[in-house]
Amino acid sequence: MSPASARPVAVSEYDDAVTVRRGTEPGRHHGRFSDDWVIGNAVNGGLVMASALTALGHRLRHDTDEHTDHLDPVAISAYFLTAARPGPFTTASEVVRRGRTLSTGQVSVHQPGADGVVVERMRALASFGDLEGAELEREAAAPEMPPPERCLSAQDAPPSFLAQMRFLDRLDLRLDPATAGWAAGRPSGRGSIRGWLRMRDDSEPDPTMLVLALDALPPVAFDLGFQGWTPTLEFTGHVRRRPAPGWLQVALTSQNVGGGLMEEDATVWDATGRLVAQSRQLCGYRDRPSR
């Protein structure tokens, strides 16, 4: 059971981060990216997607008098155009098609740029459906990992690292020691990072949070010896089940690297070991430092 009684009555930090309010123009929502969710100078892409999905979900539910059961994000494909910054943002959502099993929409996230001109940060297509009771008859098994208390907390990283990764303060992230050698300068070269994840504020996972979880670990590029910023160009995630309360288990892999581009595949299982989401992203990387 989640310790609901121990949690503050106020909206959680995570809920607050993805909150949007309806604008006066049709299809517009407004929100604010806190500087608590940055990596370097940019807002974490997973939070940008979770906020955009929250806005699009509102739009799909409220721009019609018809009842819809399509409350769960099932697929999202996001193209990252410019880095989101802390501060206010506006989303523009459009209902593209209401189908029997899925409803599909589009959402863009805008912010004023440095010169005040509005810049598009991200544009996504996404489908919502009903994952109530969804079961898989065939699924990838959760990886073998030591329990969270025997894994490496991201909080134990050097303060200089954490100062650049304020986003990590929002998470309780425990990396499998077998895939954390890169943190001590010894990347395995396998292209694999695994860990346990939950929100620091004890918010329990929901389908929208799974999209954030798919993009929350350190880049798998680190385990291949790359350092620094690996900007996401395109991210597609599929949510397959509603997650159980508790820890999420996340595994990253990458196979194909070159020409300044690599794919990062992510899979998330819930606390009961059931696969709940998967994603692939195409991201850039910088060349390895010369040795």
Residues 104-123 that bind its own copies (CB under 8 A): 104, 106, 120, 123
Residues 54-73 that bind its own copies (CB under 8 A): none
Should residue 102 be labelled a site residue for its own copies when binding is judged by CB under 8 A?
yes
* Minimal distance, residue 107 CB to its own copies, in Å: 12
Residues 246-285 that bind its own copies (CB under 8 A): 255-261, 263, 275, 278, 280, 282, 284
* Minimal distance, residue 112 CB to its own copies, in Å: 16
Binding range to its own copies, per CB under 8 A, among 2-10, 129-137, 148-156, 179-187 = 129-137
37 or 269: CB nearest its own copies: 269
Q: Which residues sit opposite 118 in a β-bridge?
A: 112
Give the other-Cβ count within 10 Å of 18's Cβ. Answer: 22
Should residue 45 be labelled a site residue for its own copies when binding is judged by CB under 8 A?
no
The answer to whether residues 282 and 233 touch, using CB atoms and an 8 Å cutoff, is yes
Q: Which 3-state string (H, E, C) describes 201-269?
A: CCCCCCHHHHHHHHCCCCCHHHHHCCCCCCCEEEEEEEECCCCCCCCEEEEEECCCEECCEEEEEEEEE
* Minimal distance, residue 236 CB to its own copies, in Å: 4
14 or 80: CB nearest its own copies: 80
Contact residues for 216 (Cβ-Cβ < 8 A; gap 6+): 44, 46, 167, 171, 173, 197, 250
Class of residue 184 by CB neighbours under 10 A (exposed 0-12, middle 13-18, buried 19+):
exposed
Amino acid (1-letter code) at residue 54: T
Interface with its own copies by CB under 8 A: which residues? 74-75, 77, 79, 81-82, 96-97, 99, 101-102, 104, 106, 120, 123-125, 127, 131, 134-140, 191, 224, 233-234, 236, 238, 240-241, 255-261, 263, 275, 278, 280, 282, 284
